[in-house]
Structure 1
Amino acid sequence: MASKNYQPVERDRHSTVKVGNYLYMWGGVGYEVDYNVMEVYHLPTGAWDQKPTTGTPPPDNFAYSTVAIGKDIYYFCGLGGGDYQNSLHCFNVDSFKWKELSPSSDCDPMKKGYCGMISVHFDSEHYLVIIGGLGSSSIPKQPN
């Protein structure tokens, strides 16, 4: 899977997530960042590779939050297109395919970046909890 000669693209304000024996790096800010590829680091061999993705990736952005649940990596968008975002995307490490997700409630999350996100398992369900960050000046009213 990995190429010994490949070096990852220089970037900042990105995230790297571990799934199995691999680190998955996407997005951020840098001159040569390609938002249609995922950079993958194989932990046992120390080799990097760059793999094309399919589907709908998040808008070109940085300062987003990410967390892995099983073989899926979730990305809550930060800054993209000159404004804060509130989209949620899922990337599957087996298919290398992106999918944009829709909220399951009437309450959309606030548009923001530089926030934290964790996965919580409760009553046999996984939940994504978005914490803190910078965003719009108004905070949407949350139910209960």
Structure 2
Amino acid sequence: MASKNYQPVKRNRHSTVKIGDYLYMWGGHGSGVDYDVMDVYHLPTGAWDQKPTTGTPPSGTYAYSTVAIGKDIYYFGGYSGGYQNNVHSINVDSFKWRELSPSSDHGPMKKARCGMVSAHFDSEDYLVVIGGIGSSSINTADGRYNEIHYYRISSG
């Protein structure tokens, strides 16, 4: 467990999400970023902590998209030696990573810097992935894409 004086490493192209009284920060681009831990900030006390994770974290370690639903944080895409299009989640009670598999071969292209929001309709939770930059056989002049994909959490 980290000390009360713990400060996370400087980084960029990461995301931070809020669940309850905590901010959760993972990955990013920067010297000394440890991808096997989650940095956690307790809002009421202003204290940082570092939580070890288990499982296999996402391969897109920066410029990924993220959103929280309940006690789970979802990550899509990103970049690390190449563009990614995988979906992972981590539960903030267990700090265990889980890779989610789409049920269709028609998923989003490999990309980074896209938007992602959660949506709830017809009694189901969805991830909605919007736009981004990447490489694909669908060529645009600047590498930007406007595709939209829905991912149903319950069935993938």
Taking structure 2 as the reference length, what is the TM-score of the superposition?
0.84
Runs of 4 or more, structure 1, over 3 Å off, are none
Counterpart-to-counterpart distance in 1, 2:105 and 2:95: 30
Counterpart-to-counterpart distance in 2, 1:124 and 1:26: 29
Amino acid of the structure 2 residue aligned with 1:20: G
Unmatched 5+ residue regions in structure 2?
139-146, 150-156
Counterpart-to-counterpart distance in 2, 1:142 and 1:78: 16
Structure 1 residue 102, shift from structure 2 partner: 0.1
Q: Say yes or no: does 1:89 pair with 2:97.
A: no
Percent identical pairs in the alignment equals: 76
Structure 1 residue 108, shift from structure 2 partner: 1.9
Counterpart-to-counterpart distance in 2, 1:6 and 1:42: 12
Kept after mapping to 1: 8 A contact 2:110/2:136? no
Unmatched 5+ residue regions in structure 1?
none
Taking structure 1 as the reference length, what is the TM-score of the superposition?
0.91
Equivalent position SS for 2:66: strand
- Counterparts of 1:49-128 in structure 2, within 5 Å, are 49-59=49-59, 61-80=61-80, 82-128=81-127
Amino acid of the structure 2 residue aligned with 1:77: G
**Judging changes above 3 Å, is the alpha-carbon distance between structure 1 residues 142 and 72 closer, same or farther for their aligned structure 2 residues?**
closer
Kept after mapping to 2: 8 A contact 1:118/1:128? yes
Deviation by residue 1:82-123 (Cα, 9 ceiling, x = unmatched):
210000000100000000000023312111000010001010
Amino acid of the structure 2 residue aligned with 1:100: E
Deviation by residue 1:1-24 (Cα, 9 ceiling, x = unmatched):
874210111100000010111000
Structure 1 residue 137, shift from structure 2 partner: 3.5
The number of aligned residues is 141
